Structure 1
Amino acid sequence: MAYYRIQLNDGSSHTLQAVRMRTDASSLYLEERAAGDWREVFSNPIDDVERVQRRFTENDGTWTWLQERLPAPVGGVRAW
């Protein structure tokens, strides 16, 4: 699982572990997979999110935080 650091416009920061990050038209979600289902770890209105970073571990064991782009919103309707 990846570590994400979510920095909000109010100056607060949240560091969380999640399998995936997704968005819809209004919110950012971090989710984990449990028993075959996706479970929400964190959600926040997307307008309040200043920056999202993902943690990478270097070969020497140090951490590097790289800025992530927000994924494209997932639509509510699927065409099968």
Structure 2
Amino acid sequence: MATYRVRMTDGTLRTEQALRVRTDAHNLYLEERAAGAWRPVLDVRLDQVDQIQRRFTENDGRWVWLTETLPAPAGVRAWN
């Protein structure tokens, strides 16, 4: 399971493990799968999110945090 770090606009950090990241028009969701259903482990409004990072482990064991872009909201087409 991937580890994500969410930096909020107030400067706080939230670190959570999740299988997927998704957004809708208003919220960011970090989700895990339990009993065949997706369950949110973190649900936060998009206007409160400053940055999201994913943790990768290097071959020597060091952690590297890479900044990720927020996914396009579900059901919203990015083209015309």
Q: So what's the TM-score if we normalise by structure 2?
A: 0.92
Paired positions, count: 76
Partner Cα separation in structure 2 for residue 19 and residue 52 of structure 1: 14
Q: Can you give the 5+ residue segments of structure 1 that lack an aligned partner in the other structure?
A: none
Partner Cα separation in structure 2 for residue 16 and residue 48 of structure 1: 16
1:3 aligns with 2:3: yes
* 1:73 alignment counterpart: 73
How far the C-alpha of 1:48 sits from its partner, in A, is 0.8
How far the C-alpha of 1:37 sits from its partner, in A, is 0.5
Deviations 1:15-64 (Å, cap 9, x if unpaired)? Answer: 00000000000000000011111001001000110000000000011100
1:47 aligns with 2:51: no
Q: Can you give the 5+ residue segments of structure 2 that lack an aligned partner in the other structure?
A: none
* 1:27 alignment counterpart: 27
SS of 2:47 mapped into structure 1: helix
Give the RMSD, CA atoms, in angstroms.
Answer: 1.1
